[in-house]
Structure 1
């Protein structure tokens, strides 16, 4: 993965914000991407400390390979997440995340539902692969997202939406960032849920941001 320089990211962010897509920030429920600002501040993977064992992280994965849309919103999981929303350590309640392990630690513990939709946190998912190039600026439904991201990543997104109290199916769109690659924006029920960026266009995610909340 080639990290984009901070200077180029700053220039790209300014140009993108001033460009024709700026008007789409609120139109149709979409928004201007956050990934350029975050990467410009600290670099794509600064502060991440994600466990190497993906199975340990993805507690929604099952041995019989149930599909994400079949296991996404199980009653006990959702009830437990709602019951614990607003509790937990201060860094989870504030939306800042664990000082070492980041926001994903709070989500694994079930304390991921008490932050606002304008708060974006790093997902720390270094293993996201785009299975095929998304079509630029075309809205993609949940089945299309599944063919691009695969079952495991879709399971994570649906689980995050569920813990964040965002009902409804997922959809997304791909934005071309020019020399800085592109970003896949994902919504749940029309609300911002995630951004998955590929800065060097190698088909692997360089930065994942998670939004959502009640």
Structure 2
């Protein structure tokens, strides 16, 4: 009983630290946030912080992985069993645009993370951990089911390398959505135009992949 209580407390503290960091990172660049800030918002001590994370970098990597997982789960949830592959892919890509419109700060965080950690060194251990995460996600790519179903039911053109197609779609969509995320919040006209452009891109992409 006592062991379970301590484990639950450790898990709760870890979750609170991640939630606090995420809240702060969405308000300002993670480059401006320090351990003291995170502990203050989470309501824990620095000692507790170091029980869960060795550095701010480790916490930043954790937030990045959580955001990517939440994004892909949201997008994947737009597909349903009664759809054919083309409909599944279209629904997922349109949901992706909606997600980016609802959470531009998440997309901006991913962009800043990628730029920063490409330009500056972090620990080899963290890089390996993140690369392992990325490789696992690539192997079970969240777009693969829609593509595979589309190839089988004929609604999408047959593809000998569906994983490469899934990666291409991911990179293309993220590039477009990251551009959208940089629009000032009060610039509704540009936001609407970019959303229309994103939906048009989805239409062109699906049409290119369509078997009919």
- After TM superposition, is the score higher than 0.5? no
TM-score by length of 2: 0.26
Larger radius of gyration: 2
Tell me which protein shows more strand as a share of its residues: 1
TM-score by length of 1: 0.25
